[in-house]
Structure 1
Amino acid sequence: MQDRQEQWQHKVESLLDNDEILALVYACDESLLHQFSQTQVMQEFFTQFFGKIPNAQDLQALKTFITPKLTQPLYIKLIGHFSTLCEAQVITKAYFHHLLLNIHAHKVDSQARTDTQSTKDLSHTHTLIEEFYQSLQELCTQDSQIQVLQRTWHNAKEQKFSIGVTGVLSAGKSTFLNALLGKEILGSSTIPETANLTVLQYAKDQGAKVHFWNLEEWEEILADSHTDEGLMRFVQQTQSTFGDNLHSYITKEGISKHIELSELSVYTSANHASKLCNLIKKVELFTPLKFLQGGVDIVDTPGLDDPITKREEITKEYIKDCDLLIHLMNASCAATQVDIDFILETLLERNISRLLVVLTRADLITPDELQQSLQYTKQSLQNAILKISQSLDSHAILSRITFLPISSYNALLARTQGNAPIPLEQTGILAIEEYLDTMLLGENSLKARDIAYLCLKSFASIAQDIAHDLSLESKILHASKEELEEFIAGERHQSTLLREHSVRISQAIMDKNTELEGTLKILNDFILMSLQTSQDRLKERVVQNITYAKRQNRTTTKEDLQELFTIALKDIFTDITREYKYKLNTKITHLIQEVHSEVQEVCHNLEFAHTPPSFSFYAKDEQIAHFVHILSSEVFALSGSGAFASKLDSVFNQTFALFSQLIFTKSQHTREAFLEFFGKISQMITQDFQSQITHKEQALQKALQQFEKSNNQETKDLIAHKLDSITQLTERIVQTYKELE
């Protein structure tokens, strides 16, 4: 087999340049081999490559050899050729989907094998980690070291995996999750069903816990409703339904309630008559499903275009800490602007390295339509990336996305009832599970490696602290009285320097916030200029349209104006805020990197767990509609007036001033959130420095006590032995984590 693969090496390179032949090779299974062998083009290929007509095993070996070499662009080309074969009825629609899933599965499997071969198996690493933990426990010199060691060990063993599931309303999230979980837990219908953020967690006894809005959150919703007609209707419906009882649900602290799983729809369904879902902020759902074992959480979002802005903000706070994001899009619909914005925000602004885009309801469209949907999404993303910056590599960004089709409903039927129009292996659910297992959940997953690496890094830091303490004891035990006094003075001087360094670092961190405030001011000026330019262009366009209509003896209707303003305001908001977000996040990322480098040089045991706050600038359709209504009504009223042109400035100025508040209000929230964020970092650094100073003093006191208590050779030999042991252990720990880098 090895000899044959070596012979194939050069031939495969030329095959990869011929995507049409490559597609036929992949499409050719045992049932089609005879048919394909009758064609001249395949006869020539088989003779040139194999020297004969191959058998099914030869073809499978070739596919296995080629699959790891497939690039994303080549994979997309293959999909196009498979689609053509399907349209020509050479292969069936079901086999088309089977091909896509098989190639992806082989790519995933090949990558897993490559990862396993490139480093030691993680099971061996886990064995070493446990050995290091036991050894460090025996060598720890202070209680504080034992506490850090045990916390690190616990976090590594109990590390949670968080999967965020996103998409616009009615993207099919609930059906997809039910299929993934193998049980119909979440309600689903053609009308948006799950109206709340839901966090699924493992528990032996199933149940749920609902969390209601608190008073402050509800007041924010009321404030947002003044410029959002959809939100205004939501508030009016809620107040009408609950009346005076509303404040028994919405309290200052916020209440939570445990419920049975059978009651879930009463609290979460947007279609339930109780309308309790209007009062719910989030739901925790507990179920004994195996997929959730091992600390796996699934965050099911109510929809990125959720009309409740506050709930969308909470959703974004949850998903920013997810280890993997799954974004769902209806395969039969083109990617929406919200889809495009979210994907870009995820890849560019949140530094998410892995994104799985699932095309739902793939069984309802033809392979050609699926291919068109994929191409449209990719092209839209490329165009949006170019709008942000010409310097960004769109191909590199798109390569971080994996696209997989699924028929969630058929997968759910196959798993819950055992019968479905499409076999389970052709629904797409198995390919998605393989992806999750390799990227996140498997023993050799990237996530598992990350956890092992961070644990070992922390162990190395603890080992260095222990070595420092033992070295301190050894120096004191071997010192003369004069040397001892000099040594103590030196150690305490080091503590003084640490305090001074703490103040300097904290001030430097706060300076980052001042720098960010300057950036926000510049970006706000950019918004003002951009809005003014857009306002002038739109006003000029309106005047031209109305003037042209009059010349044609045609009346400009209110509906004409509504259509014009809807498209224009959406484009203006999208273009301005996208550039704003990109520039702001670029600055924030740069500042955070500077903070990391400054902190990690001096703060050895600092758990840099705080993630920067997220922010969004999505304009809801209802918010846009609010401004469209104002502009179209007032411009239409003026269109027959003699003072039309002179009064138009006032109408546009007033409306755009309100329009800009959508952005400026969010900008202010961003400023406040980052002020708090950098403040927390500064506080953590101060605490870490103080911890180092306290540790030094305790180690010094312990060494002095040891000196006074027992200054014999046996004690010196024992410390020397421990110091030698911790030195060797540190070297082994460092070597192990470097192998994982």
Structure 2
Amino acid sequence: MHIINDFFLLVWSERLDKNVVFDEKNRAKLDQTLSTAFDNFCDSAAILCIISPHNFANMASLEEPKSLLKTLFETSSFTKEIVQHAQIQLLLYLINLGNLRVNQAIIKRLEYLKKEGIISYDVERSISGVLSLIEEKKIEIASLHVKRSSTQENYYKTALHSLSTAIENIAQALEIPRLKERLNLIPERLANQRFSIGITGVMNAGKSTMLNALLGEELLGTSVVPETANLTVIKYAKEPYAVVNFWNAKEWGNIEKGSQTLKSLEAFVKESKAHFGEKFNTLVSEKGVSERISVNDLALYTSAKHSDKKCNLVKSVELYTDLKFVQEGVQIVDTPGLDDPVIQREEITLEYLSECDLMIHLMNAAQAATQKDVDFIIDALLYRNVARLLVVITRIDAIKEKELQEVIAYTKRSIEARLREQNKGAKLDEIIAKIVFIPIAGKLALMHKLGREQEALALGYDMQKTGLPLVEAYLEEVLFGSNSQKANLIIASNQKEIESIIEESLRSFEQEFQLLNLSNEEIEQAYAKHQDDKKAMMHFLEQIKSSVAQSKEEMRNYFTTLQTFASNRLSTLQNVLKRRISDDVSYEMSKHKKLPKEERVASIIETAMKDGMVDLVRDYRYEFQKKMQSALEYMDAKYGEFKSDAGERTFDAKAFCEEHLSSVLLFKNSSVVIAGVNDAIKKQGKNDLSALNMSLDALFNEEFSGMKAMIHEKLRTINETLLESFSILIQAPASAIEERFLGEEALLENAMRQMKDATQNREARMLEIKEKERVLGIVLDDLHVLKESK
């Protein structure tokens, strides 16, 4: 109020004889004028402020003072009372606004009026002095609440909670829509991660018993006859249920084809067809049938004892349960026995195991390590990329402690001997280091879980002695501990993405803060320069995008070359394999006058095919990597400034190829071809090598034709993934430049709007930026602590 009194004493030499009140109906008009026509508002305010008794008559004769009264206060009269009322309302508005930028702009106009001789020095000093008394409106920015992570569970869950807390904190500070979209994708990506455990072993090894003990519920039947006669994938769901998947016609056709060579499979096929008769085609259809069933009915489809042979036609089962152990993306792959007569089920098992984070192989303590066990363990570790292997020795309650140690020692010796036999001795220490042995009494552990602990205790086994807690602790550490490769990869990749989002947001805030400190003239100059740079930058980016599109098309065409390369390598492998067998038969006949043993033939075929496929995939990776690296180097050479402008780019081509090509390592079960080769050797090996070679040609042509089709289809899918990843990789620097450039443009455009709109308070925005930078800084520090605490 004293400001208005001072104004009237200085301008009108009068005191106000009544309290003044701001008329709210004026606010909307004044706000609109200020925000849409800043210069006009300040011009009008300066003219209104200088109207006094000394110039009132002259002002009344001019159109501009009348016009500004009409614009700001919607009145066309020009009387002393109306002018004074308008001056009071203007001053009250400026006091309430508390914006120094507006007041200073009006004072500048008063200085101009004095310079032009329209008002005197004393008038300018007096009115400017009154306006300078208007205090800057105190800006209060609400503090953002920063949550802190408090969960202390295993490494993975603790890290997940930390990332979720970070995402929640960041969300309240982010402003750029593109960064918000990136942040919103992370929770979904974390939720979709999978940890896979493969359970393997020969029939009657105790897989179902141990699995029931782990899950704490007798879901899977246990019996002396094979119960889980198919692959069962156990996943999490709040409401338990199961899905049964039957063979389709093509898959069953392959089973029937195999039965022509393998007698065990022949009996299985005949039994199945005879048992189901006309109903067979309702379960084995062209596309394949799936049924959703109750968990309680599982045995009616999977048990060899209870399913009325229906288990013969079941390819796999998906079991959904609410048990805690399969939460957090864990899935358990419970496999049929390794001695399953249906080799197609073994092939499905092997394909699943190639993606397992952990394989648990069970061996009955009373049977020690069979040849099948040892071969499977070596195959898994040598050829199927199984990173960790837990060997569980079951039914330890049936043998003595000394015998148990002998079983473990014998298993290790058998693995070493088999590796040396295959000339893999150099990998001995590496493979043995991946194996952990834990002995358990599964049935007694299950008693404890089912509330029958007294029975187990009576036999001298508390829960700890059953060995199951050791298995659970091992699983916890391998899947979710700080040394878990997959857990670390998941956490590290998503943490890196969060940090990238924070850092980009902080850079944007810093740029905006610098703009807010510039004068209007400097902002206009910066915007004009950016518009000039934009044309050159857009032209530069178009050139880069054109080169990227060309590189992508060249890579697409190169995949055709790689497909041919893979096919030729398989043809070479086929010829090598045929020659090795033919040479071995010839050598044995000339040297020892007898045919090679069937086991030796089997070893030659399996080793040659697996090593051949490993070599094929390795060379395929190398050829793709070489081509990709060449494309990247071309871009760097052609657009050197582009590379440096985009910042330091690091790229691990080897890791990239391994990530995308790991699933190509696909092997078919060799039982059929081994049986066929041995049969041909028996018939023709002694008397007619020429006829043997013709038989081998026919066998291998059929086998490798199927393999070429399989790998062609596999590579076709993977090549699309590789191409998309390559495309993203090669255009990432250009995308980063474009995003940064457009981000800067958005900041400049916003600064231009703020410059013209005085209702946008710069000081308030600067405080808001600092508060959001504080939050992002805290989250970034917490993420660094998470990384260091691993």
Q: Secondary structure at the match of 1:612?
A: helix
CA separation of 1:686 and 1:208: change in aligned 2, threshold 3 A: same
Gaps of 5+ in 2: 1-152, 517-522, 633-648, 757-761
Contact kept, 8 Å, 1:503 with 1:686, in 2: the verdict is no
Number of positions where the alignment pairs a residue of Structure 1 with one of Structure 2? 597
Answering whether residue 213 of structure 2 is matched by residue 179 of structure 1, we say yes
- Supply the RMSD in Å over aligned alpha carbons: 4.3
Q: Alpha-carbon deviation of 1:186?
A: 0.9
| Equivalent runs, 1:292-441 vs 2, <5 Å | 292-333=326-367, 335-386=369-420, 392-416=426-450, 417-418=452-453, 419-420=455-456, 421-423=459-461, 424-441=463-480
CA separation of 1:173 and 1:507: change in aligned 2, threshold 3 A: farther
For residue 674 of structure 2, the aligned residue among 613, 624, 640 is 624
The code of the aligned residue for 2:753 comes to K
For residue 195 of structure 2, the aligned residue among 143, 161, 164 is 161
CA deviation vs aligned residue, 1:358-384 (integer Å, no higher than 9, x gap): 122333344444334333432343344
Q: Secondary structure at the match of 1:191?
A: coil
Q: Match for residue 599 of structure 2?
A: 567
Q: 1:298 & 1:144 partners in 2: Cα distance?
A: 37
Q: 2:372 & 2:722 partners in 1: Cα distance?
A: 33
| Equivalent runs, 1:440-479 vs 2, <5 Å | 440-441=479-480, 448-467=487-506, 478=523, 479=525
Contact kept, 8 Å, 1:466 with 1:726, in 2: the verdict is no
Q: Secondary structure at the match of 2:172?
A: helix
Q: Secondary structure at the match of 1:658?
A: helix
Q: Match for residue 753 of structure 2?
A: 709
Q: Alpha-carbon deviation of 1:137?
A: 1.2
CA deviation vs aligned residue, 1:23-58 (integer Å, no higher than 9, x gap): xxxxxxxxxxxxxxxxxxxxxxxxxxxxxxxxxxxx
Q: 1:488 & 1:504 partners in 2: Cα distance?
A: 25
CA separation of 1:624 and 1:699: change in aligned 2, threshold 3 A: same
Q: 2:780 & 2:564 partners in 1: Cα distance?
A: 44
Q: 1:334 & 1:652 partners in 2: Cα distance?
A: 40
CA separation of 1:615 and 1:272: change in aligned 2, threshold 3 A: farther
CA separation of 1:300 and 1:191: change in aligned 2, threshold 3 A: same
Q: Match for residue 149 of structure 1?
A: 183
CA separation of 1:124 and 1:438: change in aligned 2, threshold 3 A: closer
Q: Alpha-carbon deviation of 1:491?
A: 4.4
Q: Match for residue 735 of structure 1?
A: 784
Q: Secondary structure at the match of 2:223?
A: coil
Answering whether residue 578 of structure 2 is matched by residue 537 of structure 1, we say no
The code of the aligned residue for 2:167 comes to Y
Q: Match for residue 281 of structure 1?
A: 315
Contact kept, 8 Å, 2:166 with 2:779, in 1: the verdict is no
Contact kept, 8 Å, 1:320 with 1:614, in 2: the verdict is no
Q: 2:672 & 2:208 partners in 1: Cα distance?
A: 24
Q: Secondary structure at the match of 1:195?
A: coil
For residue 488 of structure 1, the aligned residue among 504, 519, 534 is 534
Q: 1:359 & 1:720 partners in 2: Cα distance?
A: 61
Q: Alpha-carbon deviation of 1:658?
A: 0.8
Q: Secondary structure at the match of 1:149?
A: helix
Q: Match for residue 580 of structure 1?
A: 612
Q: 1:317 & 1:376 partners in 2: Cα distance?
A: 29
Computing the radius of gyration from Cα coordinates, the structure with the larger value is: 2
CA separation of 1:438 and 1:248: change in aligned 2, threshold 3 A: same
Q: Match for residue 662 of structure 2?
A: 612
The code of the aligned residue for 2:682 comes to S
Q: Alpha-carbon deviation of 1:682?
A: 1.0
Q: Alpha-carbon deviation of 1:329?
A: 2.5
Contact kept, 8 Å, 2:359 with 2:389, in 1: the verdict is yes
Q: Alpha-carbon deviation of 1:663?
A: 5.2
Contact kept, 8 Å, 1:406 with 1:429, in 2: the verdict is yes
Q: Alpha-carbon deviation of 1:154?
A: 3.9
Q: 2:341 & 2:754 partners in 1: Cα distance?
A: 73
Q: Alpha-carbon deviation of 1:202?
A: 3.3
The code of the aligned residue for 1:485 comes to Q
Q: 2:591 & 2:609 partners in 1: Cα distance?
A: 27
CA separation of 1:498 and 1:422: change in aligned 2, threshold 3 A: farther
Percent of aligned positions that are identical? 29
Q: Alpha-carbon deviation of 1:342?
A: 3.7
Answering whether residue 710 of structure 2 is matched by residue 669 of structure 1, we say yes
Q: Match for residue 296 of structure 2?
A: 262
Contact kept, 8 Å, 2:173 with 2:776, in 1: the verdict is no
CA deviation vs aligned residue, 1:605-625 (integer Å, no higher than 9, x gap): x99986632544364556533
Contact kept, 8 Å, 2:562 with 2:620, in 1: the verdict is no
The code of the aligned residue for 1:277 comes to C
Q: Alpha-carbon deviation of 1:574?
A: 2.8
CA separation of 1:444 and 1:669: change in aligned 2, threshold 3 A: closer
Q: 2:552 & 2:369 partners in 1: Cα distance?
A: 46
For residue 271 of structure 2, the aligned residue among 197, 216, 237 is 237
CA separation of 1:596 and 1:193: change in aligned 2, threshold 3 A: farther
Contact kept, 8 Å, 1:360 with 1:406, in 2: the verdict is yes
CA deviation vs aligned residue, 1:682-729 (integer Å, no higher than 9, x gap): 124446759948856874674465355334645984796489558846
Contact kept, 8 Å, 2:383 with 2:610, in 1: the verdict is no
Contact kept, 8 Å, 1:196 with 1:282, in 2: the verdict is yes
Q: Alpha-carbon deviation of 1:402?
A: 0.6
Answering whether residue 233 of structure 2 is matched by residue 206 of structure 1, we say no
